[in-house]
Amino acid sequence: MLQLRDLGLRRGSKLLFAGADVTIYPGRKVGVVGPNGCGKSSLFALIRGELHQDQGELLVPPNWEIAHVAQQTPSGERPAIELVLDGDRELRAVQAQLAIAEEQGDGLRQARLHGRLEAIDGYGAESRAARLLHGLGFTPGEERRPVDSYSGGWRMRLSLARTLMCRSDLLLLDEPTNHLDLEAVIWLESWLKSYPGTLLLISHDRDFLDAITDAILHIAQGRLHSYTGNYSACEHRRAERSAQQQAAFTRQQQEIARIRRFVDRFRAKATKARQAQSRLKALERMELIAPAHLETPFRFRLREPQGRLPHPLLVLEAGAVGYGERTVLAGLDLSLAPGERIGLLGPNGAGKSTLIKLFAGVLPLHSGRCLPAPGLRVGYFAQHQVDQLRPDASPMEHLRRLAPDPSEQELRDYLGGFAFGGDQATAATASFSGGEKARLALALLIWQGPNLLLLDEPTNHLDLGMRHALSLVLQEFEGALVLVSHDRHLLRVTSDQLLLVDAGTVTTFAGELDDYPAWLAGRQAYQDSPAIQAPSQDGTSRQAQRRAKAEQRRNLQPLRRRLEALETRLADLEARRGELERELALPLLYEPAAKPRLLSLMAQKHRLDADFEKTETAWLETGEALESQGGTP
């Protein structure tokens, strides 16, 4: 078990926490939460042995295998799957020792190493790595691409897959969902639920934490507190404690009153009834959690949109959009009105960001019409906005470019609401963390008073306090909101309507957000089922469809025959391996006089294993090729 005994830790002169007494038993799944800079990542570095405590003891079982995601982005020309296989350190060590034993002709050592390889599922390691990559969003066949051919975000997914490949006793994950979409987050959530080891998870995604964790370590104000249960249970206990203080309770009511004013104002209006009901549901949740965030430094409000709100703000008629000559979305008939709050759902690559870029004017229409209102003011947030911040400029200088007239005190007050106070308001952004840069980009966006907010993954790197503050201000926004996020809590409390982006079009999602994982599972089953075919989109006759299916079957026949031949060969090789293993298990074979026979059998076993692995790889690739062309293995 992992033990913290009167543990204290500093970074430089700053005390992160002191007097921590915690015992984490094997198999527990523990969330580590707290504001940015409180010491969460430093605690992980301490557990990995990269830092040393300032007081007390940290006891980690010496035989534990610890896995964590490396800070450095991977690079190189090696195939992606080889990078992922590196995560199983024992596998790589056994493979290296086996190569040496083969060079030296050491049959006894080869036998022992082949036995160990069998015990750790070394022959199925490549298949295991491919499943991890597929779960994290890589399509079949991409695992052979060079690492350098992927963008930075996808390389981070490769790093995560390499970490999950490790058969670890203790898994340390620091913000693993930052570079994932909602589909991959749901898959990772399922994987971590079944992880048999001990998990320490840093995350600012409350739904993700709630689904996985059974204990919480909360770090704040120099103390580390342990709570039993998931994040919501921890939050409720903190809320109950804070709500006992009258001053805190008053501030809580001020936060909630703004939402109530909206509900009271629009409850009776038919056009706003749905939104009012959505706010009431969100309010029930916020009344429970608001006191837990009263210590947050974030105190900001959305600026009122300038001028009268046009209605509608933007209209799309028979729109089609894409990149170059490739159309991604078509048949777009949408209207955005003030007060609408839309959450976009859909698989990775379906076109959610493409739709937001169309609304923002970043992408032109291929066809159709886009009619923006004369008074439309768009506020568009995406990760490239963070990258466009000038590293040599301070928050004050960035804001002054947008607002040359207000006084310095007014600008400082505004930045203070985003926790850029004191010297940080005039510090260069080059030294800022990812969360601080995201906060600054949001602050600059909100200052401009948009009446249409387009937010594409706005919560990456934001801590729980900032996410909570953002969810509150979005509730009172009078303009229209379109949101893409893997943070299901933010989607749940800010979206009144869910649109599904899939199969090249946009439709209303028939269900609640909690129904989306089941929809994803059903979609996958639909794609995998040979009995279900997509309906014709162009009115093709049934006879023509039958002809097309027959043509497809003829085209796929060579792949099917190759797959069957490979399956037969795999069965034959497996039977021959079994015979050899039974013979190698005979005690007489290991007497000195039998050494030539042993070496001969070991050489046969090595050739069979190599042949089996090569045949299995060919079988997997053929099956993937068959699936990619619409067939089933």
Indicate if 148 and 9 belong to the same structural domain: yes
CA atoms within 13 A of residue 434's CA, in its CB half-sphere: 11
- The yes-or-no verdict on residue 538 having pLDDT over 50 is no
Phi first, then psi: what are they for 381, rounded to 5°? -115, 125
Cβ contact 142:153 at 8 Å? no
Q: Do the domain assignments include residue 305? A: no
Indicate if 210 and 266 belong to the same structural domain: no
Indicate if 178 and 127 belong to the same structural domain: yes
Calpha distance 435→386 (Å, rounded): 10
Q: Which domain does 605 fall in, by range?
A: 553-628
Q: Do the domain assignments include residue 100? A: yes
- The yes-or-no verdict on residue 510 having pLDDT over 60 is yes
The pLDDT value recorded for residue 333 is 94
- Under DSSP, is residue 204 helix (H, G, I), strand (E, B) or coil? coil
Tokens describing residue 504: 């090249």
Amino acid at site 460: N
Band (pLDDT 50/70/90 cuts) for residue 171 is very high
Task: For residue 326, list its beta bridge partners.
Answer: 323
Would you give the distance in Å from CA 410 to the centre of its chain? 37
66 or 14, higher pLDDT: 66
Q: Do the domain assignments include residue 537? A: no
Q: What is the pLDDT of residues 271-326, one digit of tens each?
A: 556 666 666 666 665 555 555 555 556 666 776 766 677 888 999 999 999 998 88
* Whole-angstrom Cα Rg for the chain: 29
Indicate if 197 and 285 belong to the same structural domain: no
Indicate if 252 and 318 belong to the same structural domain: no
Indicate if 334 and 289 belong to the same structural domain: no
Last residue of a domain, one of 215, 236, 257: 236
Q: What is the pLDDT of residues 318-357, one digit of tens each?
A: 999 999 888 999 999 999 998 899 999 998 888 999 999 9
Indicate if 276 and 231 belong to the same structural domain: no
Indicate if 74 and 111 belong to the same structural domain: yes
Cβ contact 466:474 at 8 Å? no
Q: Do the domain assignments include residue 532? A: no
Q: What is the pLDDT of residues 57-107, one digit of tens each?
A: 999 999 999 999 987 888 899 999 999 999 999 999 999 999 999 888 888
The pLDDT value recorded for residue 593 is 83
- Under DSSP, is residue 211 helix (H, G, I), strand (E, B) or coil? helix
Q: Do the domain assignments include residue 301? A: no
Q: Do the domain assignments include residue 460? A: yes
Indicate if 517 and 593 belong to the same structural domain: no
Domain tally, the chain: 4
Calpha distance 588→493 (Å, rounded): 71
Q: What is the pLDDT of residues 541-598, one digit of tens each?
A: 445 555 555 555 566 667 777 777 777 887 788 788 778 877 877 778 777 888 888 8
Q: What is the pLDDT of residues 380-429, one digit of tens each?
A: 998 777 878 888 999 999 999 988 888 999 999 889 888 888 888 999 99
Tokens describing residue 161: 């897959």
The pLDDT value recorded for residue 270 is 52
Indicate if 604 and 522 belong to the same structural domain: no
Strand 170-174 vs strand 66-68: parallel, antiparallel, or unpaired?
parallel
The pLDDT value recorded for residue 535 is 43
Last residue of a domain, one of 169, 204, 236: 236
The pLDDT value recorded for residue 537 is 41
Indicate if 478 and 587 belong to the same structural domain: no
User: CA separation (Å) from 225 to 7, 349, 473?
Assistant: 12, 41, 29
Calpha distance 152→156 (Å, rounded): 6
CATH assignment at residue 349: 3.40.50.300
Q: Do the domain assignments include residue 539? A: no
The pLDDT value recorded for residue 475 is 80
Of the candidate ranges 276-285, 495-504, 509-518, the one whose mean pLDDT is the lowest: 276-285
Q: What is the pLDDT of residues 472-493, one digit of tens each?
A: 888 878 889 999 999 998 999 8
Cβ-based neighbours of 518, under 8 Å, separated by 6 or more:
none
What average pLDDT does the structure give for the chain? 83
The pLDDT value recorded for residue 372 is 92
Cβ contact 562:553 at 8 Å? no
Indicate if 68 and 192 belong to the same structural domain: yes
The pLDDT value recorded for residue 151 is 82
CA angle 446, 451, 455 (to 5 degrees): 60
Q: Do the domain assignments include residue 303? A: no
